[in-house]
Amino acid sequence: MAGMPFSFAALLDRPDIWRGDSLNRASTPTIPCGFPELDAQLPGGGWPAGALTEILPAHEGIGELRLLGPALAGLSRRGLRLAWIAPPHLPYAPALAAAGIDIARLVIVRTASAKETLWATEQSLASNACGAVLAWPQGAKYAELKRLQIAAEGSRAPAFLFRFPEVASESSPAALRIVLSTVRGGLAVRVIKRRGAPLAHPVLLSAMPPAVRGKNHHVDRHPAAAAAARDFPARLVHV
Amino acid sequence: MAIGAALALAPRLRLALRDPAAETEALLGVAGWAAQFTPSVAIEFPDCVLLEVSGSLKLFGGLESLLERLRRGLAEMGWSAMSAGAPTPRAAFWLVLAEKQKFIGPMAELEPALAALSVEVLCCGNETLAALEAIGVRTLGELRALPREGVARRFGQGLLDEFDRALGRLPDPRNFFISPPQFRAAIELPSEVAQAEALLFAARRLIVQLAGFLAARSGGVQRIVLRLGHRDKAATEIAIGLVAPSRDAEHFTLLLRERLSNLTLAKPVREISLRADDVVPLADRNLGLLLEQGKPPGRWEQLIERLRARLGTDTVCGIANRAEHRPERAGVISDLGAKQLQLDFGERPFWLLDRPKPLAEVGAVPNHEGPLELLAGPERIESGWWDGDDVTRDYFIARMQNEALVWIYRERREGRWYLHGVFA
């Protein structure tokens, strides 16, 4: 490197170097997640493209997919494919369509083993042919995640790995790690790793389905509803 | 050289009968592959392919790079070739026959270059060659120095005409090769192969030939069939279907590798053949004017094919919505890219359980890891009486103790609760 002008600022501009005291500037492309409160806390203002994002919901069903809804809807409407690798249940087309996701763009990959899941995820990321890759790997080790992170690098797709909350304490090569839990009426998003200063407080989102929004304090509702189930035809769907 | 003498020199020599039919087939295969470089391909039997390349030089970046591509492709198909070039087809053919790896550009250099060649390149009988030798004529230059009338009288006008064609003084029309509408190629393996993966090496030769054949036709195929011939057993056929037409040799190789690695061979393979029937037009992709950053976007069709080749065709699918009230029929697994219907359902969960899960009921309250709190509902769904699979259900959105939202229903006839979906 003799004779080459060396600039410390230029070194800091490299996308793979980030400073611990500030949020990384938008050196890597991101996909806005659709929740302004959360976007403000994510480096570059959205889900990182070409990097792993780990989503660790406290339980299944608390809003882990609703969190991705706006981003997935935007990507699918741009004609990009969304790869779902080894999802735990059938992704339900009516609900996805209602969330604005073009279901014709979905590619579901069902695998027979954890190894196949990792392989399919790696292929999907390395091919750079998808708009987003969602995967449900079981018991992935650090070295395997590192492989996925390397496969994701340079691609345009954000990669979401859904894992159990127990792995939050393990180290991971993912660029972004998020723990989800519920607080009465909403979703608490705790960012446990991001490229930049750690985030002390969780971000609260109201990512509830419209039909139940605002019904969070009706604790006394259920006996009545149960009675309704027995007796009156409330919203009759009859063909 | 006699067989005995050859064996004395090299005792481990393997002898094989010459197979003219196989040679012709191979030559036609090479011609079909070479047609990607020029539309004007002519065959000089038994072992020469003539390409008219002056119109292709610019496209392929000059003679050197075109030759490099020819050599690389031929080597990948397992052939070694002598190549030469000249302004006329006959002169080029003569240079190759004389084993001179020469490329002559201007017409003026042609005659001196040909003068040095032996008269053996002429297409005439052994008697004529002997007569030429008897009068001391060994090279074309020496033949040319003789008076024309004398040569014509002694050896016939044909010899002079051939010479004039080589020098471009007489027209030398050729029948151009027309490639067949379908692709067929076969290789007999030098020894029987029992390992499926070892076949890939041989199959690769056929794939390169296929890619050239398709490039020549500006086409692609959606299905290729590799047939593995055994000694005394029905052949094994491996069909590879593609989501979109392609002519990418690397892609075909990748798919074949995945398929072969999953294959266990019952019998060793003696010969392999590759077949592609329906060639469809396929346009080349235009490159962007500016180099794009990062990896170039891949083709999703190729990803799907790789996944399917390894995991099985059924494992990669799409989903579709249907105009159906029964929830398990309104959202289903379907082919990739099924058209989305514009339908309006009530609030639906992102996850649907494969099979509704029966829930316990404790004190008139459904339980799923603790009592469920009903947030919305009921939404009554009664449908399907006509096909014997009717449902009479009241659906509710319920909250679990851990705050997860689930979709449950009460079967109205038997009065039992079931879990059917998770809102996620």
Average pLDDT over chain A, rounded to whole? 78
Q: Which of A202, A198, A191, A171 is nearest to A21 (CA)?
A: A198
Domain of residue A196 covers: 36-208
CB-closest option in B298, B325, B339 to A104: B339
Block residue for tokens 């705790």: A190
Q: Which residues are CB-neighbours of B126 under 8 A, at least 6 positions away? A: none
Q: Is the dihedral of CA A207, A211, A212, A215 positive or negative?
A: positive
- Asked if B378 is an interface residue toward chain A (Cβ–Cβ < 8 A), one would say yes
- Asked if A180 is an interface residue toward chain B (Cβ–Cβ < 8 A), one would say no
Torsion region of A32: left, alpha or beta (phi above 0 gives left; psi -120 to 50 gives alpha): beta
Q: Which DSSP category does A51 fall into?
A: S
Question: Strand, helix or coil at A99?
Answer: coil
- Asked if A209 is an interface residue toward chain B (Cβ–Cβ < 8 A), one would say yes
Could you give the count of Cα atoms lying within 13 Å of B318 in the half-sphere of its Cβ? 17
Q: What is the pLDDT of residues B63-93, one digit of tens each?
A: 999 999 999 999 999 898 899 999 999 999 9
Q: What is the pLDDT of residues B18-28, one digit of tens each?
A: 888 888 988 99
Q: Which residues are CB-neighbours of B5 under 8 A, at least 6 positions away? A: none
Q: What is the C-alpha separation between B424 and B418, in angstroms, rounded?
A: 18
- pLDDT value for B275: 92
CB B338 within 8 A of CB A114: no
Once rounded to an integer, what is the mean pLDDT over residues B375-379? 82
Once rounded to an integer, what is the mean pLDDT over residues A18-27? 56
- Asked if B402 is an interface residue toward chain A (Cβ–Cβ < 8 A), one would say yes
Say whether B378 and A228 touch across the interface (CB within 8 A): yes
CB A132 within 8 A of CB A82: yes
Q: What is the C-alpha separation between A69 and B423, in angstroms, rounded?
A: 12
From chain A residues 25-54, the ones with a CB under 8 A of any chain B CB are 50
CB B396 within 8 A of CB B409: yes
End-to-end CA, chain A: 78
Residue B263 φ then ψ, to 5°: -95, 135
- Asked if B337 is an interface residue toward chain A (Cβ–Cβ < 8 A), one would say yes
Q: What is the pLDDT of residues A137-155, one digit of tens each?
A: 988 888 888 888 888 886 7
Confidence class for position A237, pLDDT limits 50, 70, 90: very low
CB–CB contacts below 8 A, A to B = 243
**A217 within domain boundaries:** no
Q: What is the C-alpha separation between B246 and B90, in angstroms, rounded?
A: 37
Q: What is the pLDDT of residues B97-143, one digit of tens each?
A: 888 888 888 888 888 888 888 888 887 778 888 888 888 888 988 98
CB-closest option in A88, A110, A211 to B315: A110
Q: At what angle do helices B62-76 and B199-216 cross, to 10 degrees?
A: 140
Identity (one letter) of the amino acid at B119?
V
pLDDT at B337 over 70: yes
CB B315 within 8 A of CB A111: yes
**A62 within domain boundaries:** yes
> Quick one: how far is CA B236 from the chain centroid?
19
- pLDDT value for B75: 92
Instruction: Pull the structure tokens for residue B402.
Output: 């851990």
Calculate the CA dihedral of residues B7, B8, B10, B16 and round it to 10 degrees: -10
Q: Does domain B183-281 have CATH number 3.30.1490.100?
A: yes
Contacts of B410 in chain A (CB under 8 A): 229-230
The answer to which of A185-194, B264-273, B382-391 has the lowest mean pLDDT is: B382-391
- Asked if A122 is an interface residue toward chain B (Cβ–Cβ < 8 A), one would say no
- pLDDT value for B279: 87
Confidence class for position A235, pLDDT limits 50, 70, 90: very low
According to the per-residue pLDDT averaged within each range, which of A194-208, B335-349, B404-418 is highest?
Answer: B404-418
Question: Strand, helix or coil at A165?
Answer: helix
Once rounded to an integer, what is the mean pLDDT over residues A47-70? 88
Q: What is the C-alpha separation between B226 and B203, in angstroms, rounded?
A: 8
- pLDDT value for B286: 54
Say whether A237 and B379 touch across the interface (CB within 8 A): yes
Instruction: Pull the structure tokens for residue B9.
Output: 């020199």
- pLDDT value for A27: 56
Q: Which residues are CB-neighbours of A55 under 8 A, at least 6 positions away? A: A64, A67, A68, A160, A161, A162, A163, A178, A180
Provide the pairing of β-strand B41-44 with B48-51: antiparallel
Identity (one letter) of the amino acid at A228?
A
Confidence class for position B287, pLDDT limits 50, 70, 90: low
- pLDDT value for A218: 39
Once rounded to an integer, what is the mean pLDDT over residues B166-172? 90
> Quick one: how far is CA B397 from the chain centroid?
52
Say whether B304 and A63 touch across the interface (CB within 8 A): no
Say whether A60 and B294 touch across the interface (CB within 8 A): no
Q: At what angle do helices A114-127 and A142-152 cross, to 10 degrees?
A: 20
Length of chain A in terms of residues written: 239
CATH number at residue A77: 3.40.50.300
The three state secondary structure string of B173-225 is: CCCECCCCCCEEEEEEEEEEECCHHHHHHHHHHHHHHHHHHHHHCCEEEEEEE
Cα distances (Å, whole numbers) of residue B247 to B36, B174, B213, B215: 12, 29, 9, 7
Q: What is the C-alpha separation between B368 and B403, in angstroms, rounded?
A: 12
Instruction: For chain B, give every domain's residue range.
Output: 17-166, 183-281, 346-422
Provide the pairing of β-strand A106-109 with A82-85: parallel
- pLDDT value for B218: 86
Say whether B294 and A50 touch across the interface (CB within 8 A): yes
CB-closest option in A59, A60, A94 to B343: A94
Q: Which stretch of DSSP H or E encloses residue B226? A: strand B219-230
Higher pLDDT, A218 or A74: A74
Q: What is the C-alpha separation between B109 and B100, in angstroms, rounded?
A: 15
From chain B residues 274-313, the ones with a CB under 8 A of any chain A CB are 294-300, 302-304, 306-307, 310-311
Contacts of B314 in chain A (CB under 8 A): 110
**A225 within domain boundaries:** no
CB B247 within 8 A of CB B278: no
Cα distances (Å, whole numbers) of residue B176 to A92, B29, B86: 58, 14, 18
Say whether A127 and B303 touch across the interface (CB within 8 A): yes
Say whether B378 and A225 touch across the interface (CB within 8 A): yes
- Asked if B172 is an interface residue toward chain A (Cβ–Cβ < 8 A), one would say no
Block residue for tokens 């080790």: A141
Question: Strand, helix or coil at B30?
Answer: helix
Contacts of B343 in chain A (CB under 8 A): 94, 97
In order, the DSSP letters of B404-421 are -EEEEEEETTTTEEEEEE
Q: Which of B136, B164, B141 is nearest to B152 (CA)?
A: B164
- Asked if B318 is an interface residue toward chain A (Cβ–Cβ < 8 A), one would say yes
Probe site for chain B from A65, A81, A92, A153 (most B CB atoms < 10 A): A92
Block residue for tokens 């790995």: A161
